[in-house]
Amino acid sequence: MTRVLLVEDDSTLARALAITLRSRAYEVTVARDGGSALRDASSARPDLVVLDLGLPDMDGTEVIRSLRTWTQIPIIVLSARDGQRDKIAALDAGADDYVGKPFDVEELLARLRAASRRAAPREDEPMVTAGDLVVDLSAARVRRAGIDVRLTPTEWHVLEVLVRRRGSLVTRADLLREVWGPAYEKQTNYLRVYLAQLRSKLEADPSAPRHLVTESGLGYRFEP
């Protein structure tokens, strides 16, 4: 049974969503503020976190950053804040996905399933070598010149999609759909931000990338 930590200060919504999740065979722990969420994450060891940003004691992005200091479990933000800056801030802090309120329950459940699949270990996946980069797909780990490179969950997902299709063009729409979901297919600014971050961490010369290549007007390609 998949364990979900639901962090939501609206008691009515929290109760309704917990009932829905339990009816779909999820084990649910509810936290009403950020402090409780951090304690419950440590004690209950959930498989997924569903997090509201507007909490009474701290901003949800602070909760994300605190969790990311010790765990890489999937975090799905569920928030009424729909501004682009809020979304980017949450994703940069380490969130894996962002669902706006009001939301469709079936879409949220689909996002939970997708996050669970991405987080599942794949022991049969290869290690891909590209110059001084080694990308371990099974361990979700990257090394450059023998040194571990710390990536946020979203940075890893972008890189993973490109590496799995290495040598092939991945269109912007495909990449957005696979990492963020169908609702984000036109948010090309996300890709500019995250590719720039990845290049700064992985390329010897980010201004002239060797491995994370842009196909102008089309998409991106990972060149081994």
Q: Express each pLDDT in 173-200 by its tens digit.
A: 888 888 887 777 788 888 999 999 999 9
In this predicted structure, the answer to whether residue 213 has a pLDDT above a threshold of 90 is yes
**CB neighbourhood size of 129 (10 A):** 11
Q: Express each pLDDT in 110-165 by its tens digit.
A: 889 888 877 765 555 678 999 999 999 888 899 999 999 999 888 998 999 999 88
Fold of 3-119: Rossmann fold (3.40.50)
Contacts for 154 with CB less than 8 Å, ≥ 6 apart: 91, 92, 94, 95, 96, 179, 194
Contacts for 184 with CB less than 8 Å, ≥ 6 apart: 176, 177, 190
At which residue do the structure tokens 């979900």 appear?
4
Residue 195: φ, ψ to 5°: -65, -35
Domain coordinates in residue numbering, the chain = 3-119, 127-222
Q: How confident is the model at residue 49 (pLDDT cuts 50, 70, 90)?
A: very high
- The answer to which of 43-47, 181-185, 217-221 has the lowest mean pLDDT is 181-185
Report helix, strand or coil for 218: coil
127-222 CATH: 1.10.10.10
DSSP state string for 114-168: HHHHHHS--TTPPEEEETTEEEETTTTEEEETTEEE---HHHHHHHHHHHHTTTS
In this predicted structure, the answer to whether residue 205 has a pLDDT above a threshold of 60 is yes
